[in-house]
Amino acid sequence: DAGVIQSPRHEVTEMGQEVTLRCKPISGHNSLFWYRQTMMRGLELLIYFNNNVPIDDSGMPEDRFSAKMPNASFSTLKIQPSEPRDSAVYFCASRHLFWAFFGQGTRLTVV
C-alpha cells in the first residue's frame, strides 16, 4: 500500500479563491482525520470521519471550511473563500484500531 496520499503537495492561491484539498486513505482503514498544523497552534484536529460519516467537526474554524467523504477511499477539505490566515500545512490521516498514518500534507499559502 502506498500509504495516505494527499494532493496537491503545495498550493498557492489568492485570497477569496476556493481551495480543495484531497486525501486518499489507506485501504481498510475506517477512520479519517483532517488536521491543520501551524507554528503558533501546532497540530489541530479539524474534523474526523468514521466509516465515511462525519463524527466531530467541532474543530472546523468556521463556515468557510467544509469536508466530505463520499466513499471509503476519498475525502476532500474545501475552503471557500480562502483567507491569508488559512495558510498552514493540512494533514490527512487514516486510522485502524491503534494505528494512525499521516499523509505528507498539503502546504497551503493564501496571498
Partner 1 sequence: TQLLEQSPQFLSIQEGENLTVYCNSSSVFSSLQWYRQEPGEGPVLLVTVVTGGEVKKLKRLTFQFGDARKDSSLHITAAQPGDTGLYLCAGATVSNFGNEKLTFGTGTRLTIIP
3 state DSSP class of 18: coil
For partner 1, give the closer residue by CB, 12 or 55. Answer: 55
Taking CB under 8 A as the rule, which mask of x and - marks residues 31-60 in contact with partner 1? x-x-x------xxxx--x-x----xx----
Q: Taking the complex as a whole, how short is the minimal distance between the CB of residue 102 and partner 1, in angstroms?
A: 3
Report in angstroms how near the CB of residue 29 gets to partner 1 at its nearest.
Answer: 13
From residue 63, how far is each of 10, 24, 46, 60 by CA, in Å? 23, 24, 12, 8
Asked if residues 23 and 105 have their Cβ atoms less than 8 Å apart, the reply is no
Contact positions with partner 1 (CB under 8 A) in 58-97: 91, 93, 95
